Amino acid sequence: MSIAAIALNRFGLGARPDATAPADPRAWLIAQFSAFEPRPAIIAALPDAAAMTAQYRDNLRQLRQVGIGGIPRQPGDPEPPKGAEAQALAEAQQKARREAFRAAYAGQVRARLALALASHAPFAERLVHFWSNHFAISTDKLATATMGGPHEFEAIRPHIAGRFSDLLLAVTRHPAMMFYLDQAQSVGPGSLLAEVARRRNAPRQPGLNENLAREILELHTLGAGHYTQADVAGLARALTGWSIGGFVRRPLGLDAPPGQFIFQPAWHEPGRVTVAGKTYAQDGEAQARAILDDLALHPQTARHLATKLARHFINDDPPPHLVGRLAATYLANGGALLPVYQALITAPEAWATPLAKFKNPWDWTVSAMRALGLNDAPGNARIAPMLNELGQPIWRPGSPAGWPDAASRWAAPDALLRRVEVAGRLASLAPAADPRALAARVLPGVLSATTATAIARAESPAEGMALLLVSPEFLRR
Amino acid sequence: MIDRRSLIARAGMIGGLALHPGLALAAATTQSRLVFIILRGAMDGLAAISPANEPRLLQLRGALARPPEQLGAPLPLTADFTAHPALAGFAGLFAAKEAAVVHAVASPYRERSHFDAQNILETGGNAAYALKDGWLNRLLPLLPPAPPPVAISAALPTLLQGAAPTTSFAPSRLPDASASLKMRVAALYEGDPLLHRLWGEAMATEMMAGNQDGPGGPVALAATAARLLAQPAGPRIAVLDHGGWDTHAGQAVRLAAQLRQLDTMIATLKSGLGPAWADTLVICATEFGRTVAVNGTNGTDHGTASAVLLAGGRVAGGRVHGDWPGLTRLFEDRDLLPITSLNAVLAGSVAGLFGLDPDRVVRSVFATAPAAAMAGLVRA
């Protein structure tokens, strides 16, 4: 297996027939971070998190108005219509909401795909997808239905080659994560707002939500088994007041534009907290920031991230020595990510075991379309439903843990059959080409004699291309 | 059982038909209709339409010389030829003079690559990839105005590509992977323990679910073609793809299934076209034939000449056209001798169907691989 093929497939998104193979693959990989565009035009043209937050707020208002979804009306909300009229209104609104969700989501997925297909920095794009999954949200909540794109585009992309602490902070402050893990309404029991609510005997007492704090510790930083319930409680208290503009509880809330991070002093739990053995006495917003900064540089976080990176790029069971080296590199560089990527691609293990990873549906789809020289989903192939069918709806893993990074999750009978179907479809939609020449170009030094023969003996060029896309060496990297 | 996927497909198909922009143009000024079915993978012409009096066929083919007994006896077409029992509908049309055969036909191509041969079949050239456009596209400027020809497939086949406007139409779903692709995938995974096991399980599950020719399959696409062509203001030319003919192994069973499917496609076209069937010519052509002899896996390998099947109200039916070279002498000592030029059959067919000067068709459409147009294939 050639070094170029490993660089293109293991670290990239697969070869394109219209691009030349890199002469110095390692240098090519590292140089990508200067070429990488955090905010390309196709993303800048899409509605951002602020727009999606405003949409969410409008949706909530609608739901309250018609009194469905268990959302109680608030003082000042207009009187709901009654009877058949109410039913018709509710149905019309729900239909419009669904269509708006679908259109926004499809636009975001298309943009992600277009970037991946055309990218000259595929290693950097892979890291975007990796971190997006590490900090997974899922679009199956009303609040996050259209937040998958903004989360990845605004919180992940700008920080993939910076410090992990900046990435962690950007994600934690983003409305996607705030909404997904119920942080935006988390109020300290000893906060000013809670005290006022108690005095007024308000029907709904505000309270603490530990969801985000727990997942930061378990999924984003230290990892499962390396934190205690006391750590969760401490971080959750420190995070109270971290919220998003557009959902103000008056009279004590500060106003801010929809979607924008805001710290609400009146919601914050006063006092010191202890997390991972360290006590934090800071006031206000600075308290959770200090905890996040320390968590980012915790040796256990270094191990957790090193394990996940090595598992994603090298092997489902990452070599322990490699994990150790990556973690040490991370700590020695103060949590800077670029040196870790450098250590990853200079590791002998990275270039040793061939085809150890089974591509997940997204990586497979992107590499298949790149191999066919496509820049967009061809013909009437709609990409979001296609990935749904292949078993990996984008930004919808259903859990904050994200998609598993193991062959055992993706290599299954029905999933394989779906790939064969999609391969046949994509190959029939792609511009005609000679699959014999294409195979040698997109799998340089990897193409087995068995696959080359099968392609050459296919009964049509389209069938030959489909066979290339589902060949054992194309399904893996 | 109607599953979710096929329901979506049905909905998509109906919606697509109504909305497709390329299909609603001014009325055509010709009543003649052409359906071209590309049989990809090399149909064994000797098994589809067998010579009745060739002892050498039995010598070289052994058990494969006759269709499996449980399918019934070969169906006599003429004194010299029989049709495979899976082509019962076609044989019925032949008796009613609505179907015909041209045998021992080959394109100018004399090697044995599917891709190259299909390219020549579709471009009408004399070398693979020498021409960029399809011969059917080059024919269009000679025809009276009509809505653009339609390929009933996701992508436009080379046959229709070129300067003249054409369109393609297919249901907006993932078609189930073709039987041929699935069989090749199975072979491809034989050396990979994980994929071999997964594929085996997937196929076992599918077999239990009884997944046959559903929406998106060739018969459904033939029905779509018929619906489009039957419209008075619809297109006049449709192209269908039918793959799966590359019967290197276990030919008896697979070829019977292929032929039955083709037979059903033709019957579907006839019933869907209704009165327009009288104005229709269906041409079924393949890239090359198969070896006369059986190979080591009860199949046949890539050969040279094959048969062209014609059907429709415009066919000069009830005949096996052209000369028959016999099986005493074989091409390269293995294949049916090519005695009739495919381009001669194509030029003669379309010239007759659309009332064009045959020489003009040869000059304009088949200039790089000209052959005198075959006369008498089509009724005026």
Of the candidates A420, A434, A458, the beta carbon closest to that of B182 is on A420
What φ, ψ does residue A433 adopt, rounded to 5°? -155, 165
Q: Which amino acid belongs to residue B108? A: P
Mean pLDDT (whole number) for A246-265: 86
Contact partners, residue A348, CB within 8 Å, separation at least 6: none
Which residue is it, tokens 């009276």? B144
Residues of chain B with CATH 3.40.720: 31-176+214-365
Antiparallel, parallel or unpaired: β B99-106 and A242-244: unpaired
Q: Are A259 and A49 in contact (CB under 8 A)?
A: yes
* Residue A11 to residue A9: CA distance in whole angstroms: 6
pLDDT surpasses 50 at A123: yes
Tokens of B89: 């509908």
Q: Nearest chain A Cα to B153, which residue?
A: A428
Q: For position B27, what pLDDT does the model report?
A: 54
Look at the block and give the residue holding tokens 């660089």: A7
Instruction: Test B155 with A462 for CB contact under 8 angstroms.
Output: yes
Per-residue pLDDT band at A74 (split at 50, 70, 90): low
Residues of chain A contacting residue B246, judged by C-beta atoms under 8 Å apart = 457, 459
Task: Give the best residue of A459, A465, A467, A476 to mutate against chain B (max B CB count within 10 A).
Answer: A459
Q: How far is B80 from chain A (nearest CA, A)?
A: 31
- Number of cross-chain residue pairs from A and B with Cβ atoms under 8 Å apart: 109
**Dist CA A407 CA A395 (whole Å):** 19
Name the pairing type of β-strands A242-244 and A261-263: antiparallel
Contact list, B40 vs chain A (CB under 8 Å): 459-460, 463
Percent of chain A with pLDDT over 90: 71
Q: Measured between alpha carbons, how far is A66 from B151 in angstroms, rounded to an integer? A: 49
- Partner B contacted by A96 (CB < 8 A): no
pLDDT tens digits, A178-227: 999 999 989 999 999 999 989 988 888 888 999 999 999 999 999 999 99
Where does the pLDDT of residue A249 fall: very low under 50, low under 70, confident under 90, or very high at 90 and above? low
Per-residue pLDDT at A319 = 94
| pLDDT of amino acid A48 | 95
* Collapsed DSSP state (helix, strand, coil) of residue A278: strand
| pLDDT at position A399 over 50 | yes
Listed in sequence order, the residues at least 6 apart from B22 whose beta carbon sits closer than 8 Å to its beta carbon are: B147, B148, B150, B165, B167, B169
**Can you tell me the distance from the alpha carbon of B266 to that of B310, in angstroms, rounded to the nearest whole number?**
10
Helices A285-296 and A164-173 cross at an angle (nearest 10°) of: 140
Which residue of chain B has the CA closest to A429? B155
Q: Please state which CATH number belongs to domain B31-176+214-365.
A: 3.40.720
Q: Given CB atoms, is A424 within the 8 Å cutoff of chain B?
A: yes
Nearest to A413 among B172, B201, B245 (CB): B201
CB-hemisphere CA count at 13 Å for A138? 13
pLDDT > 70: percent of chain A: 95
Cα separation, B1 vs A473, in Å, equals 36
Contact with chain B for residue A309, Cβ under 8 A: no
pLDDT in tens, A453-470: 999 999 899 999 999 999
Residue B296 distance to chain A (closest CA, Å): 17
pLDDT band of residue A88 (cuts 50, 70, 90) is confident
Q: What are phi and psi of B101, to 5 degrees?
A: -130, 140
In order, the DSSP letters of B207-270 are HHHT--S-TTSHHHHHHHHHHHHHSTTS-SEEEEEE-----SSSHHHHHHHHHHHHHHHHHHHH
Chain B residues at the A interface, defined by Cβ less than 8 Å, are 40-42, 113-115, 118, 153-155, 158, 170, 172, 174-178, 180-182, 184-185, 187-189, 191-192, 194-195, 198-199, 201-202, 205-206, 243-246
* pTM strictly above 0.90: no
B172, closest residue in chain A (CA to CA): A380
pLDDT above 90 for A430? no
> What is the bridge-based pairing of β-strands A261-263 and B81-83?
unpaired
Q: In 3-state terms, chain B is what percent helix, strand and coil (to 5)?
A: 40, 15, 45
How many Cβ atoms from other residues are within 10 Å of residue A128's Cβ?
A: 22
Q: How many angstroms separate the CA atoms of A223 and A234, rounded? A: 17
- Which has more confidence, A272 or B178? A272
Contact present, B71 and B85 (Cβ < 8 Å): yes
Q: Is the dihedral of CA B309, B314, B318, B321 positive or negative?
A: negative
pLDDT band at A332 (very low <50, low <70, confident <90, very high): very high
Assigned token pair, A241: 């007041």
Question: What is the CB-side half-sphere exposure of residue A119 using CA atoms within 13 A?
Answer: 32
Compare all CA atoms of chain B with the CA of A463 and give the residue at the minimum distance: B181
Q: Is the pLDDT of residue A334 over 80?
A: yes
Cis peptide before A393 (omega within 30 of 0): no
Using 50 as the pLDDT threshold, list the residues of chain B that sit under it. 1-26, 172, 174, 210-212
Cβ–Cβ below 8 Å for B154 and A425: yes
Q: What is the pLDDT of residue B6?
A: 33
CB < 8 Å from B in window 364-403 of A: 378-380, 386, 389
Reported as a single tens digit per residue, the pLDDT across A223-243 is 999 999 999 999 999 999 999
**Contact (CB<8Å) B175/A424:** yes
Written as one string, the DSSP assignment of B289-349 is -BBSS--TTSS--B-S-EEEEEESTTB--S-EES----SSS-BTTTBPPP-EEHHHHHHHH
Residue A40 has pLDDT above 50, yes or no: yes
Chain A residues within 8 A of B155 when measuring between CB atoms: 378-379, 428-430, 432, 462
CB B238 within 8 A of CB B218: no
pLDDT at B5: 32
A459/B246 Cβ within 8 A: yes
Residue A117 tokens read as: 């297909």
With CB atoms and an 8 Å threshold, state whether A472 touches B158. no
pLDDT in tens, B280-291: 999 999 999 999
* Residues contacting residue A190 through CB under 8 Å, at least 6 positions apart: A269, A270, A271
Write the CB contacts of B23 (distance below 8 Å, at least 6 apart in sequence): B17, B147, B150, B167, B169, B228, B234, B235
